[in-house]
Amino acid sequence: MTGALLCPDDCRIRNLPSLADVKRMAQIIEALGVQIKRQGDIMDFNASHIGQSKAPYELVSQLRASFFAIGPILARLGVAKVPLPGGCAIGARPVELHVRGLQKMGAEVQIDHGVVHAYVSGSSRRLKGAKIYLDYPSVGATETLMMAATLADGETTIENAAQEPEVIDLANFCNAMGAQIRGAGTNTIIVSGVPRLHSVDYSVIPDRIEAGTFLVAGAITHSEISLSPVIPDHMTAVIAKLREIGAKVIAEAPDCLRIIPGHRHTATDIETLPYPGFPTDMQAQFMALLTLSEGDSVITETVFENRLRHVAELNRMGADIRVKGNHAIVRGVPMLSGAPVMATDLRASAALVIAALAAEGKTTIKGLHHLDRGYDNLELKLRQLGAKLQRVEDEDEDEANSSELAPAKTEEVVTTEA
């Protein structure tokens, strides 16, 4: 969506889910002067007149990905003012890699009172091609700098770049608008700057994390589930771990996977890593599955420092998990029990829903505003698979939190029974 800021012509993006984060990003882009029309899973953008270069803090503070706008805005206008980002409280996720890369491309960058001010001096106000080495293969920094480089003067090389499928998808989107990007999906991306981009009609790839979440839901409930459309190559690490614990995952078609759970699942060790390693965004869901797998599993979180806060909530449901530093030791138990729990972040919320599907009795989950950031109507999809769950309003107004963008006095809760 921020990539559409690069193009002064009309852009159409298809296969967009109905997520809280998508709504927030649309509001941020509209605040920059872009005209947006949405119909179903299709969104049309007209960024011919970007009226201002500053994104509003009250929106940016709720969405980490909003910072991605700094690259396209700076490339188009030569100046950008973007507040430091917010989002889930799962770690520091500093923006130094973004800033240093933009500075390498000739931008002057200052951070003042929580706002990043970036501008390009000179008559052309164009960024310059540069050689950039990322200290860490950050997806956000890779995408920000790749977008900024599409309109830069000369060639930009990004080394130690993130290799996630989403980086490839963004590169394909930009190339469809006339950008010249090579090497996306490898650790070296080369971008030859062009003066202008043009209209595009583009479909986003399927969400590999949502697909992985459903595979794990099938495994923990010993249910056979078929998923389509998916791109199996994007899910290699998750599929490998499911097979390792005793489940079968088979390709019924090039874009369709089926999980056939084992009679029993056994423990395994997991270490989260940048792609193609095991994704940090699947760590919480897999932990829920391992609570009911035989033996001791060790989960090591290397990407975000605060991403084990769901452990306490899973333990409330009868799990046996101990945390030491960035390691979680999961000892499998015969059963989980329903309990009132609180979602602490996006993937933790999905993990609690998955655990609740397999738990004995009723589970009540609060904090669903996290869930709605990354899952499009998860409860309906699960009900269509036979799950017993519903979303209700919490009558306790003192603990208010809402899944909607506007403040509300009620919190929405999913109750599930095994």
* Dihedral pair phi/psi, residue 118, rounded to 5°: -130, 140
Let me know if 256 is a catalytic residue.
no
**Which residue do the tokens 């409330």 mark?**
316
Find out whether the peptide bond into 261 is cis, omega within 30 degrees of 0. no
Is the model's pLDDT at 180 over the cut of 70? yes
**CA 340 to chain CA mean position, Å:** 26
**Which residue do the tokens 């409930």 mark?**
221
| Common-topology check for domains 2-203 and 208-417 | yes
CATH number for 2-203 (one of 3.20.80.10, 3.65.10.10, 2.40.50.140, 3.30.70.790): it is 3.65.10.10
**Domain ranges across the chain:** 2-203, 208-417
Structure tokens that stand for 144 in this block? 């920000």
Structure tokens that stand for 17 in this block? 């889910």
The pLDDT tens digits for 288-327 are 999 999 999 999 999 987 789 999 999 999 999 999 999 9
What percentage of residues in the chain have a pLDDT greater than 90? 79
pLDDT category, 401, cuts 50, 70, 90?
very low
- Which segments of 200-290 does DSSP mark as H helices, in order? 208-220, 236-245, 283-290
Check 7, 11, 88, 174 and give the catalytic one. 88
Structure tokens that stand for 112 in this block? 């003042």
pLDDT on residue 290? 98
Whole-angstrom Cα distance, residue 216 to residue 137? 27
CATH number for 208-417 (one of 3.65.10.10, 3.20.190.10, 3.40.50.720, 2.60.40.10): it is 3.65.10.10
pTM of the model: 0.92
